[in-house]
Structure 1
Amino acid sequence: MSFKRSLALAATLTLSAQAMADDPLKVGFVYVGPIGDHGWSYQHDQGRLAMEEHFGDKVQTTYVENVNEGADAERTIRRLAQAGNDLIFTTSFGFMNPTARVAADYPDKTFLHATGYKQAENLGTYLSVTYEGRYVTGAAAGMVTESDTIGYIASFPIPEVIRDINAVYLGARSVNPDIKIKVIWANTWFDPAKEADAANTLMDQGADVIVQHTDSPAPLLAAEKRGHWGVGQASDMSHFGPKAHLLSVVNDWAPYYIDTVDKVMAGTWESGDYWGGIGDDVIKIVAVNESLTDEQRSKIDELTKAIGSGELHPFTGPLNNQAGELKVPEGTTMTREELAGMNWYVEGIDATIPQ
């Protein structure tokens, strides 16, 4: 090879490397609901937008909304990988197996799955510790209820949802020993009509505080109409029912998405299991109703700070299951692995978990 040709090749390689360095990181997102659900998917998309704003033209993002869990999810995730996305976030429990299958076929790409547990060298998991916010929710509900009854609209019987029902009950019981909780399984993440029907049924059964693990503001609107309390899910829902709105538990994904993209860009990302809570500013208690007493607001602040600092963990024993069997000894805190597999109600909950 001549000297001139060597120089030309070196220049070409340098320009190619520079072009690659200047290319934006392509990041894909898969949402189970619409970005306008004002709940879970909406908040993930807010995190995506914050990440875009932070990195500017260093990133290029794509999202797909309303993706069904199962075969549709795998096709969507695979298309995002084929389209050249370097990093793909899949944001629902039912996306776990599809994500794992696609990740195995694309070892040169990075995949992050929310709320699941399957990992690989190029597949990590992440979670917002919603049970921390739910515990505070329960305490607030226990202080304001006049019927001593909380209604809970549950989505699907997965560990995350079961944990959160338990956390609401434990938080409420910590301030009100007479508390009861009624649960309706909606078997959906987002269906405003179905959610509203569930809320009305629970209120017909005596619940005067409605908590939801579904994503539309329909339950809060139903509570507002009937003069009861409701709690915002994933985002600040106070404007949907200003009188009914007790507080909102917000999932702020921006810190996690920004940090993860930064690590992928720097080549320092490693697979793991991230749990972000109140202490990480991933879970936030916002828009506490101004009609609450100073004592009630002070209690909410006290619990939020104690959980954020690690002084209080909602799942510290002694804890029994519904049958009265000791599951968590006194002074022992459940591990992440135990919480990730929670499939039992704590003692005092008069409800069943669908099989």
Structure 2
Amino acid sequence: MKKVVSVFLSFAMIFGLAACGSGNSETTAAPTTAAETTAASETTAATKDTTAAAEGTTAAAGDVDYSQLKIGFVHISDPSDKGYTYNHNLGTEKMAKELGLDADTQIINKFNIKEDAECGTALRELVDAGCNIIFATSFGFENYVLEVAKEYPDVQFCHATGYQAATSGLSNVHNYFGEIHQARYLSGIAAGLKTSTNKLGYVAAMATPEVISGYDAFYLGAKSVNPDVTMEVMYTNSWNDPTKEAQVAKALIDDGCDVIGQHCDSTAAASTAEQNGVFHVGYNSDMREAAPKASLTSAIWDWSIYLEYAVTCVAKGEAIDVDWSKGLKDGVCDISPLNESIVADGTKDAIDAAREKLLTTDWDVFTGPLNDNEGNVAVPDGETFKEPASAPSFNFILEGITVKE
């Protein structure tokens, strides 16, 4: 049995987030694209047709009564990003359908909220609107969540990608995330098998632990099937800047990278890869529609699993976990369907084998020996770094990865 080591870096280092976009201050109440509006309408129709919900009970959840709940969300961008907020909102819609909620009357979304005092205002507006539980989905919202939660102890606040709930002293604050590094590892296998130049490129938002651990995992997946592969990383210094993402992707392509990965919100890297005749691996959502000739697969989330869990806890009057994180085994993280027309031969078999290993053994992605790109030991041989719940903290840039200016 391998020795499993839990490595907890200082909270000062843990300031990454799960690919949140830097939206504007406009607050919108519904998805903005036709496809999203249709999806929202279909969800609303489905929930309205749920007789139990209309009568104050929910057949989908047995004898649990959700009818008196009101649920609020604060997002940094809106579903038009086709990335992080888009996918989180899909989780909201799925949760509403599964629990028999009326999306028109029981769910309030605050889209395009900045990571400043505007967040505090949005949170208080949701409380004033009668929300029993509020989800804040961007890392930079956490301090405002703590501030408002202290004012309203009877309202539950759930914050994605944060780390302060356990030390806040507040029983109504909770952090949630998932083991996305496992999905990124699987998606990296597709990249490692597809590259002809043995040089991958990665469009990264910020130099934070969540982003670094993400591209480390992606690279390790590629290297597991292609020992000769290397990777170049460039930062956009923004969570959602399609213009900059396209520019960075093009710079990596011009430098010889023929498969582009990403940790940023938009589909600009995917489109740029297709326009330049190379390939792409996405994040948050299935990006085959944006780049059908380039997108191999994407690392994706199913946020509905946590949302259903937390909302059900409130409905039952039960405590929500202070820190919550699940992975492949629970369906929280995975990859989107492979683009069978362009993935390399053997990709499915290689990913299936890695998935089986993750699901059935104690092995995980950050298993040593691993060195950083300066020759220092990151994880000793025979040991495994286990990410703590809620906020990733693996902050080593691994050997084989070069960060470009």
Normalising to structure 2: TM-score of the pair?
Answer: 0.78
> In structure 2, what is the equivalent of residue 243 of structure 1?
293
The CA deviation string for residues 254-293 of structure 1, in whole angstroms up to 9 with x for no partner, is 1221121111100112332111211111112122121334
Give 1:22 shift: 7.9
Q: 1:225 to 1:166 in 2, by over 3 A?
A: same
The runs of 5 or more residues in structure 2 that have no matched partner are: 1-55, 57-64
Aligned residue in 2 for 1:115: 161
Decide which of 237, 251, 271 is 1:187's aligned counterpart: 237
Does the aligned pair in 2 maintain the 1:224–1:243 contact within 8 Å?
A: yes
**Hey, what does 1:326 align to over in structure 2?**
377
- 1:5 maps to none
Cα deviation digits, residues 72-91 of structure 1 (max 9, x gap): 22222222223221101111
Which residue does the alignment assign to 1:62?
A: 108
Could you give the per-residue CA deviations for residues 210-246 of structure 1, whole angstroms, max 9, x where no partner exists? 1111111111111111111111221111111111111
| 1:34 equivalenced with 2:78 (yes/no) | yes
Equivalent of 1:125, from 166, 171, 175?
A: 175
Supply the distance in 1 between the matched residues of 2:336 and 2:102 (Cα, whole angstroms): 32
More helix by share: 1
Aligned to 1:313: 364
CA separation in 1, counterparts of 2:259 and 2:344?
17
Q: CA RMSD in A?
A: 2.1
Maintained 8 Å contact 2:149/2:155: yes
Could you tell me which of 207, 211, 214 is aligned with 1:164?
A: 214
Deviation at 1:58, TM superposition (A): 6.8
Local SS of the residue matching 1:247: strand
CA contact (8 A) 2:372 2:398 kept: yes
Asked if 1:94 corresponds to 2:140, the answer is: yes
Which of 39, 45, 52 in structure 1 is aligned with 2:89? 45
Q: Alpha-carbon deviation of 1:306?
A: 2.1
| Residue 273 (1) aligns with residue 319 (2) | no
Indicate if the aligned counterparts of 2:211 and 2:263 stay in contact, CA closer than 8 A.
yes
SS of the equivalent of 2:260 reads strand
Q: Distance in 2 between matches of 1:230 and 1:93?
A: 26
Aligned residue type for 2:352: D
Identity among equivalent positions (%) equals 39
SS of aligned partner of 1:127: strand
Question: Secondary structure at the residue paired with 1:164?
Answer: helix
Between the aligned partners of 2:287 and 2:343, the Cα distance in structure 1 is 17
Partners of 2:327 and 2:205 lie apart in 1 by 21
- Give the match for residue 10 of structure 2: none
Distance in 2 between residues matched to 1:215 and 1:49, nearest whole Å: 20
Q: Distance in 2 between matches of 1:145 and 1:57?
A: 46
Deviation of 1:200 (Å): 0.9
Structure 2 counterpart SS, 1:340: coil
CA shift in 2, pair 1:218/1:283, >3 Å: same
CA displacement at 1:177 relative to structure 2:
2.0
1:215-254 superposed matches below 5 A = 215-254=265-304
Pick the aligned partner of 2:259 from 206, 209, 218: 209
* Aligned position for 2:226: 176
Correspondence for 1:105: 151
- Return the TM-score normalized by structure 1: 0.88
Tell me which of the two structures has the higher relative contact order, counting C-alpha pairs closer than 8 angstroms and 6 or more residues apart: 2
d(CA) in 2 for partners of 1:251 and 1:311? Answer: 22
Structure-2 change in CA distance of 1:121 and 1:204 (3 Å):
same
Matched-pair contact (CA < 8 Å) for 1:319–1:326: yes
Q: Letter of the aligned partner of 2:140 in structure 1? A: G
SS at match of 1:195: helix
Determine the structure 2 residue equivalent to 1:346.
398
Q: Do the aligned partners of residues 58 and 351 (structure 1) sit closer, same or farther apart at CA in structure 2, a change above 3 Å counting?
A: same
- The C-alpha deviation readout for 1:15-70, integer Å capped at 9, x for no partner, is xxx9xx88521111111121121111011101111111122347711111111212
Q: Which residue of 2 aligns with 1:8?
A: none
Distance 1:315 1:154 in 2: 20
Partner of 1:300: 351
What residue ranges of structure 1 are gaps of 5+ in the alignment?
A: 1-17
Kept in 2, the 8 Å contact 1:24–1:58? The answer is no
* Structure 1 CA distance for aligned equivalents of residues 213 and 66 of structure 2: 44
> Helix, strand or coil for the counterpart of 1:111?
strand
Deviates more, 1:335-344 or 1:173-182: 335-344
Corresponding residue of 2:28:
none
Quick one: distance in 1 between partners of 2:77 and 2:148? 21
Judge conservation of contact 2:234–2:403 (CA < 8 Å) in 1.
Answer: no
CA contact (8 A) 1:31 1:91 kept: yes
- Contact kept? 2:190, 2:343, Cα under 8 Å: no
SS at the partner of 2:403? Answer: coil
The letter of the residue matching 2:339 is: N
What is the deviation of 1:331?
Answer: 1.9
Moved more, 308-317 or 24-33: 308-317
